[in-house]
Amino acid sequence: MTVKYIISGLLVSALTFAGIFCVTFSTVTQSVPLILLSIATIMVVVFCKKSVSSSNLGLKILVITTCLYFLIRAHLSPVVDLARQDMFLIASATLIYSIMGILMPSKIIRTWLLRGFIVVMIMNLLNWIPAIDEWRDSTLGFAKGDRNTGLFNHRNFYGNFMCMMTCLCLSFAIFMKGKNKIRIGCLVLAVLGGISVILSVSRASFLSLVVGVVAIAACWMLVNFHSKDKSNKMLNLILSVGLSLIVMAILFIGGKHVLNERSTDMGDSNGRAAYFALSIEQIPDAPLIGSGSRSVEYKSYEYWPMSMSRNLMDFKFVHNEYIQAITDYGLVGFMLLLLVLFWHIVNGILLLFHLLEKNETKNIIYIVAGLSILASLSINMLFSFPLHGFVNLTLIVFAATMLLGDPGGYNSDKSSGAGSKLLFAVTVISLVITISYNFIEGRKELMAGSCFWKENIIVDDLNWNVEDSAKADWEKALTCAVAHSPTFQRYDRLGEILYSEGHLTEAFAYYELSKKRHPYSAVSRISLARLYTDNGDFKKAEEEYSQVEYLVKNREPLFKYYRNLAEFYLVWSSATPNLRAINLMKARKACEMSEKQSGYIHQGLRKTIARVLLASYYDLMDREQYEEGYKIFDRYVINCRGLVIKNDADAELMRSYIKELLKHAQFTWSRGLLERAAKATYRAKVFHHTYYGAKNREVDKSWADEDKKIDEALSIFMQAGVKIDKK
């Protein structure tokens, strides 16, 4: 008995820690509960004296086999760092199911796990208090958000967790026998949880809540109508209709609120339907076993449609777990996931009818809770990614074990047959693999986490938002972390810091390491190309740019690939005179592609275009291709007209444009092109006064002298009868 309490303590400690810290995808924080779960599992194996149960034998073998498949397939993924994010989740699910479903399905452990989930729920509800909400933002920066995200950093995870907890608490409030104080408490939590789902403004979570509540209502009517008392049946009918109307009214009001809040959040071009479509396009690449864990995070770039070219949102998940199962783990993974989910639901329904036939309603509460949670999950998975949250997945697996039967008499159905031996063998194999992996990889991440903690960086290194004042701390932490547990993200960030500090050789080394760990990462490839450019190795830089184009050509607003390419060819043109003309032509083409893919010219691109066109103009003048040079200069002027002056640097840039216009005017005057010279002079006058307005008329005497000279030049043109084109 004492052992079970120790195991319960380890599980609840892991769960509570996860509820506070494992609310992002960071494996640093997930390593702590994963190791605690592993220790608890070892204790279960050592102290479990009963053989495994042969009840639901096929289902249990299927679950463990599924976990093994997902673990092995994830391990063989092309990008191991992304796979680890999945493997930590799969490992936690394997351990929870093995303990509660196969090795030690104890009432004591189940009760303590329920309490642990309720504690996590209450901690999230406390974020309605402004002071606690502020504490989260200031102390747990990685979970920074609004009151509609609780301790999670994403409203979908928060909404899904609260939806499942609402179903759990509502099941207890309705089906618990006696213990009125506990029932009332559960009802209050269910109401607060339902309100939280509505306030989370997560449409998928709200729809799932509707399904979960409907499942509970259906079970309630089934249980009550099973009664032989006719008067009770009539009373229950009236109560059912009344309760249904109240619930429908609440859900209608809540649904209206959710839809109103989300109606303008996301346009059709970058909504879930578009994500579904481009993910489905990926499936033929590896239809049977998939492309590997989190493959959609980088393979989606290959299929990104032009209709979403201006979408700055990057996405890690398909927002549909069924489709993502196919993209990442293939049709094999999809079928296994589908079988596991719906076999549990069917098993729960059959078990419910079995208990009603035997008139044993004591444990119906857990059956209803499990059914409502998995029913809601089956809908949530269509529009969100609940299986990718550590706490959420733990609750889902726990709910699935509720549909296996009564833990109290679980091991009474023992068998030494081939089926039980097979289940035991598969379970042992999966646990040996899982626990070994947990201690190896979990220890690495714990050591990496200690590097961040020493520099007073809060545990989650995935949320990258480094101010200049914190760069030194991050550099120390990351250098230490990669020594224990290297990842492509950490190498990228070290490279970024060192590049910004001018340490190009060190930055180059880290970007190379990042590329080896994640060859499909556009960030490291573009960064490498920039470093090759800085080192004068233009052929290598061009090769990097060429190899990464297929990934990012439709993601210009996010990666600015073509703008970087234009800057590259501009630098190369200056460094290699004999290739200047061809490289400037390539730079102009890259600018055109950047504008086309972006859908507009942002100010950064505008400045790049100005430099490219001006360099092209002077190159053509040097080669005496005057007519072509004039056309390029006209494009240069049109581009410069769009400059928005936001700071002193922009103002000085405008002054440089003015000087170029006046130089062009003098040159064309000398060649007898008076109208072109007059036009350039007039445009210089316009730019001059744009600069004057931007400086709030606070200019020095040199400006006034220059303005006077421009006016005199325009006067000469007018006196000579030269037509001035003011367009």
pLDDT digits (tens, 9 = 90+) for 458-504: 766 566 666 656 788 888 999 999 999 999 999 998 998 998 888 88
Burial letters 419-440, b for 16+ CB under 10 A, else e: ebeebeebbeebbebbbebbbe
- Quick: pLDDT tens for 281-292: 899 999 999 999
Is 183 a domain residue? yes
Ranges of H-type helices in 599-647: 603-622, 626-640
Q: Which residues does residue 414 pair with via DSSP β-bridges, in sequence order?
A: 53
Amino acid type, 78: P
Cα(27)–Cα(35) distance, integer angstroms: 12
Q: Are the C-beta atoms of residues 439 and 36 closer than 8 Å to each other?
A: no
Which of 398, 413, 440 terminates a domain? The answer is: 440
d(CA 338, CA 316): 22
What DSSP string runs through 436-481?
A: HHHHHHHHHHHHHHHHHHHTT--S--SS----GGGHHHHHHHHHHH
Does residue 126 sit within a domain? Answer: yes
**In the listed set 440, 460, 494, which residue is the last one of a domain according to the structure?**
440
Give yes or no for residue 573 having a pLDDT over 90: yes
Percent of the chain with pLDDT over 90: 48
In a domain, 475, yes or no: no
> What is the pTM assigned to this prediction?
0.85
Q: How confident is the model at residue 407 (pLDDT cuts 50, 70, 90)?
A: low
Token pair recorded at residue 267 = 């346009």
User: Are 345 and 375 in contact, with CB atoms under 8 Å apart?
Assistant: yes
pLDDT(33) > 60: yes
* Integer Cα distance of 600 and 597 in angstroms: 8
CB 71, CB 434: distance < 8 Å: yes
Q: Is the pLDDT of residue 146 over 50?
A: yes
pLDDT at 460: 62
Provide the 8-state DSSP code for 671.
T
Domain boundary among 403, 425, 440: 440
Query: Which pLDDT band holds residue 419 (cuts at 50, 70, 90)?
Result: confident
Q: Give how many domains the chain has, as a whole number.
A: 2
Q: Give yes or no for a contact between 687 and 652, defined as CB atoms under 8 angstroms apart.
A: no
Q: What is the pLDDT of residue 117?
A: 96
Give the tokens for residue 604: 């950064």
Domain assignment present for residue 491? The answer is: no
How high is the pLDDT of residue 82? 92
| pLDDT score, position 584 | 95
Asked whether residue 43 is domain-assigned, the answer is: yes
Kindly indicate the confidence band of residue 422, based on its pLDDT and cuts at 50, 70 and 90.
confident
In-domain check, residue 621 = no
Q: Which domain holds residue 220?
A: 2-440
Which of the four pLDDT bands, split at 50, 70 and 90, describes residue 266?
Answer: very low
Of the listed ranges 232-246, 529-543, 616-630, 633-647, the least confidently predicted one is 232-246
Q: CA torsion 68→73→77→80, rounded to 10°?
A: 0
Distance CA 325, CA 279 (A): 11
Q: What is the mean pLDDT of residues 123-143?
A: 81
Band the pLDDT of 517: cuts 50, 70, 90: very high
Residue 712 vs residue 373, higher pLDDT: 373
CA distances from 652 to 436, 656, 695, 698 (A): 62, 6, 10, 14
Please report whether residue 41 resides in a domain: yes
pLDDT at 32: 94
User: Would the pLDDT of 413 be above 50?
Assistant: no
For the purposes of burial, counting CB atoms within 10 Å of the CB of 216, is it exposed (0-12), middle (13-18) or buried (19 or more)? Answer: buried
Q: Label residue 265 by pLDDT band (50, 70, 90).
A: very low
Say if 78 falls within a structural domain. Answer: yes
The predicted structure's pLDDT at residue 408: 54
Share the mean pLDDT of the chain.
Answer: 86
Q: For 443-458, write each residue's pLDDT tens digit.
A: 999 999 899 888 887 7
pLDDT tier for residue 369 given thresholds of 50, 70 and 90: very high
Name the residue with higher pLDDT: 199 or 344: 344
Higher pLDDT, residue 691 or 75: 75
What tokens appear for 58 in the block? 């096929």
**CA distances from residue 45 to 6, 67, 230, 435 in whole angstroms, order as listed:** 14, 18, 50, 12
